[in-house]
Structure 1
Amino acid sequence: MRISTNTIYDMGVASVQQSTSDLIRTQQQVSSGRRILSPSDDPVASARVLDLSQSQSLNKQYDTNTGSATSSLGLEESMLSSVGNLIQDVRTYALQAANAPLSDQDRASIAVDLRGRYQELLGLANSTDGNGQYMFSGYKGVTKPFVETSLGNVTYQGDQGQRLIQISPSRQMAVSDSGTDVFQRIKNGNGTIVGLAAVANTGSGVIDPATVTNLADANICQTVSIVFNNPPTTFNATGTGIIPPVGVAVPYTSGSTISYNGWSTSIKGTPVSGDTFTVQPSSNADMFKTLGDLITQLETPIQGGGAGATAKLANGINTAIQNFDQSLQNVLTVRASVGSRMREVDSVKSTGEDLQLQYQQTISSLQDLDYAKAITDLTRQKTMLEAAQLSFTKIQGLSLFNYM
């Protein structure tokens, strides 16, 4: 077969260029640490790497979201802790105010301190997070949740929603709580029933907190009224399911147990004819109203008002203490919910970190370079290039003119 001089040169140049190209490609792999420099190097692996990279980026966003959720929940837990401490302090003030030797001026001084705590409570309820969003306004993060119209009368401006953050492909985490659930939707009394003295009472009767003795009683949440007769040594009880029945006068002794419909209580002191006490189902009472009513009672002088004024103060303080106990329990319940959510966020974050490691390992196995093999290939290709260059030099020197 006849081979022209041009063919010899073309083949020699092509061989040198191919060897140079292979050497440069391997050198680029070594310098970048990547086996795949372009999708054409391994289309299947490149598509898999792209899919895994997208999943990895999404997982990184979830990790960022879990960090935000942890921050928000931690801040709420801190605010709730402050609210709980405030309630305990206010309850201590209420117990102090119940001491009989205190004068009107002493109780007024306590009321001054309580006004400061009242404003502190309002400030905590209107707390904002690091982004300027109100923590207890539901979905309405830019709306101030609690607006005061007068002492103890506070209107909620937010809604009942809980702001959510997506912390995993299948989980959204609530990072806030409605202000009504924390500060206003609190059952008074013992959470089931509450004993109250009528505002119009003039005697010295003071009702103790009602205690549930039989929660299964079908009539436990029926209102029972206790009305004292004339003379007030007996009373009549009216309501559903009571025994003795309506119309039967029941003898009264100060401090004796009064039991109806699965509950019991006692009334101490000397009621007068017409004084009324009720045991009724618990209803919602908010912290602001409870604290505002207590302040008003402590600021109201009772000296010279007789036994009726003293009893009214005692009944008011007892009611406030019960409500503070329920408020504290409610705050602790919300804190427990926040703690549970924080624990779940930590668990999801840990799972996400493990998944991130798995993504990285899988991507590495698909696209990262085997340095031992690459360096061996680089040495071999360098030798092949040098051989091609040397052989081309020898071949291009062949000419018949050299033998003439």
Structure 2
Amino acid sequence: MRISTTQFYETSASNYSRTYANVTKTGDEVASQVKLNTAGDDPVGAGRVLQLQQMGTMLNQYKSNIDTVNTSVVQTETALTGITSAIQRAQELVLGAANTSFTDKDRQANAAELKELQGQILGLMNSQDADGTYLFSGSKGTTAPYAVSSDGTYSYQGDQTRNLLAVGSGISMASNTTGWDAFEQAINTTRTSTTLVAGADDGVISLSGGSVSNAATYDTSFTAGQPYKISFTSSTAYTILDKNNQDVTGEATAAGKFASSSSANQAITFRGLELNLNINLTKDQYTNTTAADAAVKNHTFQLGVSPSAVSTSRLPANTSTDVITSSVVTDQAAFDKTFPSGGAVVRFTDATTFNLYAAPYDAATSKPVSTGTLSGNTATASGVTFTFSGTPPTLAAGDQFTAQSSTQQSQNVLNTLTKVITALNGKVDGDPVAQQKLQATMTSTIGNLKSAAEQIISATSEGGARAKTATEQGVTNQTMIDNGTTESGTITASDPVDAIARLTLQKTMLQASQLVFTQLSALNLFSKL
């Protein structure tokens, strides 16, 4: 077989180039200690490295999310701790004001400090993080969670959304605590009220709205039979009828018997509720049973769950300057059935026609819950009657008002403080009836402040549990990152001993190739002539 000179040179050049390329590549591997530079170096290994890189990117994002959760928990806990301290001081002031030696001036001094504490608590409830996002607003991070309404009540402006962040494969965790969870679920121990429905309002009988002393009994027994009628038949006895006019007096303290010989507070316990009864008789009436009976009997009170409340606010962008001056639940059944639990938006389509939507309102997707027409300066929707300022109101198309409902089952601490501040600023000295009402307010306030503190403690514990879980997940994620880095290194990192040995062999082969080429190139006919 004959090999042409051209073929010989081409084959030799190809072999030399291939060997030289191997030497260069191995030399780079020895210098960089990296053996996988392109997918062609190791297709299977390159695919695995890409998988590990993607997993590492995800794990690093999980790590960032965990840091966000932990930072939020620390900021939230700081705010909640400050609020708890303020509530503790408020409890001390309220208990102090209940001292019988206190005068109106003393109580007003306590009320002034309570007002300062209320402002401090409001500021902490509206805490923001370093980015200016409100901590307790849920998903509405640019909206202050608490604002005072035109009627002086404080209402929650945020939502109940927990901002979820992925912290592991298939594991999500809330990064925030909402104001709804921390402050709006505090049980209101005074969620019932009494109304005199028969007899003269002469101050002879004072009957408080009552405080819940046993929540389980209250929920199962009291609510089923309300509203009740408490009728005084003499200066020593009363009867209680439930909504079906069934006599349930036997379930009350002493089966409806009491002593009216003293003006001291007397507790009546009934179906998980504790009411304060005060009989205010003259000296002559106290010593004359007939006169006492005549003064007390025929007074009848209605006792039941306090109606729901609605707080409102106008949108700053409204064309008109009108505001809602009052909002009253006038049809509890319609309210319970149709009013959105997460809040509502009243939006006018012209000067008199409006729609009520579930909040938040979206022009493209929101459907009206109810509609109505302004009558004078009032508008009724979903069982709520709204009263507008202006005579007549000057509402315009596009004007919107937000409405947030709250049942008397719960009460935030700001509204609890408002009520006790108002009571402490009132004139009480020398007025037995006013003193009795103030005492009932004090009892209510202490119960509600305790409930608010317990709710905050619960929210703090929940946040701590989230931080602990997030930290533990972070340890797991870091282990996976480390394992991935190690595995990726075994694929991409070069073995120095193996690489140097290969480089030495390839250099020897290159030298041999050069030598063979030199010697064989001399084997031709021209060199023999």
Q: What TM-score comes out, normalization by structure 1 length?
A: 0.85
Alignment partner, residue 30 of structure 2: 30
> Aligned to 1:26, what secondary structure does the other structure show?
helix
Which whole-Å CA distance do the structure 2 matches of 1:387 and 1:125 have between them? 83
Query: Cα distance, 1:218 vs. partner?
Result: 4.7
Going from structure 1 to structure 2, the CA distance change for 1:161 and 1:271 (only over 3 Å counts) comes to farther
Aligned length: 398
Question: Would the aligned equivalents of 2:107 and 2:424 in 1 still touch at CA under 8 Å?
Answer: yes
Which whole-Å CA distance do the structure 2 matches of 1:374 and 1:271 have between them? 104
More helix per residue: 1
Which whole-Å CA distance do the structure 1 matches of 2:482 and 2:251 have between them? 74
Going from structure 1 to structure 2, the CA distance change for 1:160 and 1:96 (only over 3 Å counts) comes to same
Alignment partner, residue 348 of structure 1: 473
Going from structure 1 to structure 2, the CA distance change for 1:324 and 1:389 (only over 3 Å counts) comes to same
Any gaps of 5 or more consecutive residues in structure 2?
Answer: 282-295, 307-407
Alignment partner, residue 238 of structure 2: 235
> Are residue 291 (structure 1) and residue 417 (structure 2) matched?
yes
**Higher deviation after alignment, 58-67 or 10-19:** 10-19
Alignment partner, residue 203 of structure 2: 202
Which whole-Å CA distance do the structure 2 matches of 1:59 and 1:252 have between them? 73
1:157-179 C-alpha deviation (Å, 9 max, x unpaired): 22221222122231221122332
Of residues 466, 474, 496, the one that matches 1:371 is 496
Alignment partner, residue 115 of structure 1: 115
Q: How does 1:158-307 map to 2 (within 5 A)?
A: 158-189=158-189, 202=203, 209-212=211-214, 215=217, 218-221=220-223, 222-223=225-226, 227=230, 229=232, 232-239=235-242, 242-244=248-250, 250-252=257-259, 258-261=268-271, 263=272, 265=274, 267=276, 270-271=279-280, 273=296, 274=299, 283-304=409-430, 306-307=431-432
Question: Would the aligned equivalents of 2:241 and 2:249 in 1 still touch at CA under 8 Å?
Answer: no
1:250-277 C-alpha deviation (Å, 9 max, x unpaired): 233666664433x374747545634869
1:95-115 C-alpha deviation (Å, 9 max, x unpaired): 111111122112111111111
Going from structure 1 to structure 2, the CA distance change for 1:218 and 1:115 (only over 3 Å counts) comes to closer
Q: How does 1:22-61 map to 2 (within 5 A)?
A: 22-61=22-61
Equivalent residue letter for 2:139: Y
Which whole-Å CA distance do the structure 2 matches of 1:292 and 1:139 have between them? 28
Question: Would the aligned equivalents of 1:165 and 1:172 in 2 still touch at CA under 8 Å?
Answer: yes
**Higher deviation after alignment, 203-212 or 103-112:** 203-212
> Aligned to 2:183, what secondary structure does the other structure show?
helix
Going from structure 1 to structure 2, the CA distance change for 1:195 and 1:148 (only over 3 Å counts) comes to closer
Going from structure 1 to structure 2, the CA distance change for 1:343 and 1:51 (only over 3 Å counts) comes to same
Of residues 405, 430, 433, the one that matches 1:308 is 433
1:205-240 C-alpha deviation (Å, 9 max, x unpaired): 687855339749952444476857375333333336
Tell me how large the CA RMSD over aligned residues is: 3.4
Q: How does 1:4-153 map to 2 (within 5 A)?
A: 4-149=4-149, 152-153=152-153
Query: Cα distance, 1:350 vs. partner?
Result: 1.4
Query: Cα distance, 1:371 vs. partner?
Result: 1.9
> Are residue 387 (structure 1) and residue 512 (structure 2) matched?
yes
Which whole-Å CA distance do the structure 2 matches of 1:350 and 1:209 have between them? 48
Going from structure 1 to structure 2, the CA distance change for 1:347 and 1:203 (only over 3 Å counts) comes to farther
**Higher deviation after alignment, 394-403 or 61-70:** 394-403
Which whole-Å CA distance do the structure 1 matches of 2:497 and 2:165 have between them? 46
Alignment partner, residue 486 of structure 2: 361
Which whole-Å CA distance do the structure 2 matches of 1:27 and 1:212 have between them? 84
Which whole-Å CA distance do the structure 1 matches of 2:56 and 2:43 have between them? 20
> Are residue 327 (structure 1) and residue 452 (structure 2) matched?
yes
Which whole-Å CA distance do the structure 2 matches of 1:132 and 1:13 have between them? 70
Going from structure 1 to structure 2, the CA distance change for 1:241 and 1:347 (only over 3 Å counts) comes to farther
> Aligned to 2:221, what secondary structure does the other structure show?
coil
Which whole-Å CA distance do the structure 2 matches of 1:91 and 1:125 have between them? 18
Query: Cα distance, 1:401 vs. partner?
Result: 7.3
Going from structure 1 to structure 2, the CA distance change for 1:314 and 1:277 (only over 3 Å counts) comes to farther
Which whole-Å CA distance do the structure 2 matches of 1:216 and 1:150 have between them? 33
Any gaps of 5 or more consecutive residues in structure 1?
Answer: none
Query: Cα distance, 1:186 vs. partner?
Result: 2.1
**Higher deviation after alignment, 86-95 or 72-81:** 72-81
**Higher deviation after alignment, 216-225 or 379-388:** 216-225
1:20-79 C-alpha deviation (Å, 9 max, x unpaired): 211111112223322222111222221222122112212211111111121122211221
**Higher deviation after alignment, 177-186 or 310-319:** 177-186
Equivalent residue letter for 1:98: A
Equivalent residue letter for 2:508: T
1:299-335 C-alpha deviation (Å, 9 max, x unpaired): 112123x211111111111111100000011111111
Going from structure 1 to structure 2, the CA distance change for 1:354 and 1:201 (only over 3 Å counts) comes to farther
Question: Would the aligned equivalents of 2:91 and 2:446 in 1 still touch at CA under 8 Å?
Answer: yes
Which whole-Å CA distance do the structure 1 matches of 2:90 and 2:505 have between them? 84
Which whole-Å CA distance do the structure 1 matches of 2:218 and 2:416 have between them? 30
Going from structure 1 to structure 2, the CA distance change for 1:217 and 1:241 (only over 3 Å counts) comes to farther
Query: Cα distance, 1:180 vs. partner?
Result: 2.8
Question: Would the aligned equivalents of 2:240 and 2:247 in 1 still touch at CA under 8 Å?
Answer: no
> Aligned to 2:154, what secondary structure does the other structure show?
strand
